[in-house]
Amino acid sequence: MDKYKKNNILKQQGREGRYMAIRNLRYQGDDILKKKSREVPEEEIASEKIQSLIDDMIETMHRYNGVGLAAVQVGVLKRIVVIDLYDDHGPIVLINPVVIKTKGEQEVDEGCLSFPNEFAKVIRPAEVVAEYTDRDGKRMRVKAKELLAQVISHELDHLEGELFIDKIIPGTLEYIEPEKG
């Protein structure tokens, strides 16, 4: 991507016209990734600080072509997750998410923005029912299956300081070099 395009992305506007910024990702080996994130007090959700963090997390996820990102991955120990499956729904913001129920299993290929170029097979629940607060402060419930169930399970693990690399199926880890150029 050339600089001109990159500048355009940096100038994209979030909610209420805020400028969005790409935040620095935390990578494998950074101790913060093993820490547990803290609940966001409901009265803080509408604050500029939290809303800007959410905008920046979405921008950062998109920049790195991720389908999910937890706040801890940009160095903020708050229970906030953003997900985008690049479908009609658009980005989903989950604040203080809680798993209500899981059902079944799926064996899936998985990676993580904090582990660039590393992919492995992992067992995730086939279905996940979760409750969360959205960025407007409304308590919501999502019933997810397939990829969305996988991503919710992966991102909620981040909030507990748990990483996919610690639950991979042995022998399935692959390093895939990014294309040059």
Which residues are near Ni ion by CB under 5 A? 112
Q: 73 or 133: whose CB is closer to Ni ion?
A: 73
155 is a catalytic site residue: yes
Query: CB 163 → Ni ion: shortest distance, Å?
Result: 7
Nearest to 134 by CA among 58, 48, 42, 39: 42
Query: CB 111 → Ni ion: shortest distance, Å?
Result: 8
Whether 51 and 176 have beta carbons less than 8 Å apart is answered as: no
Query: CB 170 → Ni ion: shortest distance, Å?
Result: 20
* Candidate list 39, 43, 107, 155, residue with the active-site label: 155
Neighbours of 49 (CB within 10 A): 10
Q: 18 or 63: whose CB is closer to Ni ion?
A: 63
Q: 44 or 163: whose CB is closer to Ni ion?
A: 163
Element (H, E) at 101: strand 92-103
- How far CA 152 is from CA of 44, 93, 149, 156, in Å, comes to 23, 11, 5, 6
In the structure encoding, which two tokens stand for residue 166, read together? 């610690």
Query: CB 12 → Ni ion: shortest distance, Å?
Result: 23
Q: 18 or 123: whose CB is closer to Ni ion?
A: 123
Residues in contact with 51: Cβ distance below 8 Å, sequence separation at least 6, in sequence order = 14, 15, 16, 18, 45, 135
Question: What residues are annotated to the active site?
Answer: 155
